Structure 1
Amino acid sequence: MHDKRVVRGSTFTGRTQAAGDGPESGAARARRRALARRAAAARLRPHTPPPAPGRRHHPIQTDHFLEELFDKGSEMEAGVQTDLLLDRPASPLYVPAKTGADAHTQIYPGDLFDFDVEVQPVLEVLVGKTAEQALAEAAQEEELAALRERRRRYCELRDAARAERARLRAADRRLHLEKEALVSQAQAQQAAAREARSAAAAAALARGWLADAVPAALRGLQLRGCLAAAEDSAAADLLPWLVDEVAAEIEALLTSRDLVTGQCLCRCSVRGLYTAYLPLTKSLYADLQL
């Protein structure tokens, strides 16, 4: 295809002379130059970018959508001249059309307005309306005062009723508390009575049971010889202490009596009291043994 001697193109056209066959004509050179310029212009024109991956370009006919562009549009000049108009003149004054015929009016004495005569009913109406309005306002003020007084009395009665209800609630609460206290006290007394009865029953049962157990225990101790040693130790330790305590108590009683009566009585000594009360203490100890 690169050999210029090979004929390319339409077979109906005239045969072009191959290179080397003869001198090249001017038309052939011009045609070749035109083709070269067209090819160079085609190379300089921006080409269509390559298609996206997975797509391809497809040639379509766009002749009907082509629009020829010009660097400068067509221009034309035209002149317009408005008609010369004068300013609008001022509107004339409106004069209504005359209708009917002219006439005159005869005024007799007394036909026009007499102030001294015509003002009397007007004054009567004004004075009557003013007096009526004043009476209405006075009645309204009296009614408002009566309403305020009634409201004050109602507030007093309401406050008194509230105070009475509060007093009754307080009294009811106090009675309820007293009732609760009495119920609690009665329950405590019943519990104490039950405990006392239980204690009394237990004491009676214990006395009934000890009435036979204590003499038997004392007889057993006496037979074993343990009671004699206890009697000796009690006589040696308990009796002197008991005598001293009794003597101190009697001395305190006598001192109090002397201070109250203001008399000085002769008192025996502690040893004398011991001698006097020794038989009594022995008898008390014997009673304790029994």
Structure 2
Amino acid sequence: MQAVAIVGAIITPHNIYLHSALVKSRHIDRAKRQEVREANKYFFIDCCIALFVSFIINTCVISVFAEAFFEKTNEQVVAVCKNSSSPHTHLFPEDNSTLAVDIYKGGVVLGCYFGPAALYIWAVGILAAGQSSTMTGTYSGQFVMEGFRNLKWSRFARVILTRSIAIIPTLLVAVFQDVEHLTGLNDILNVLQSLLLPFALIPILTYMSLRPVMSEFANGLGLRIVGGIVVLIICSINMYFVVVYVQDLGHMVLYVVAAVVSVAYLSFVFYLGWQCFIALGMSFLDSGHTR
């Protein structure tokens, strides 16, 4: 689950829409090809820098967690936490079983191993990550409302609606659940983001490959092939995860439900892919007639 969650957390389907929509913020004369090409170049550099910084941060987090948690047992962690006078020692059973951590327990263990400063740095980082996710989700919702629904609301009204949809369910869960049980929900949400990735990737790749839409800026054959391979890999990872996850649960009813959901999921992905294939084929024929 955590491996699939990493895929969903790093790529995130809503950010794919957001990065594409941010091109609209470039104030250029779109009738001039050179200005469009230059804007695309600098926006590409901007996205690469942002993703590279995100990659470095994730690498640092994984490295620290590997140093603190790899091949550790609950008994070892309890001993370290007692030596550091941590008030959260009761979270870990005093046995020789392998340590299992989540966001909540991970911060506690970091505080035990690296001092109280690490605990507060981790807390601030989690808060910042949550705020960043909320903002990108809100901006994506605004662009979707404008583009798909053609709703030209005021910025205040859009923010109120999109933030309410995003935050109210989370607040309800937080109020009626203990914080120790909330962190597992993060992995599930990231897994759902991974499952939703094809529904963002396939249309985006299609539109970017259509010459009637993108003109000379349309994707070439190489990018289309690479994009298609990426979508296939993500779908394969998701399906493999669903099969393994349901097998671990070991309930026949869940087998049936998972089979139905998987067939529906694959059917919808196939439908999107087929529609994209038709659109690309018609675009190719149109470009041939134009020549």
The TM-score, its normalising length taken from structure 1, stands at 0.20
More helix by share: 2
Structure having the higher Rg: 1
The TM-score, its normalising length taken from structure 2, stands at 0.20
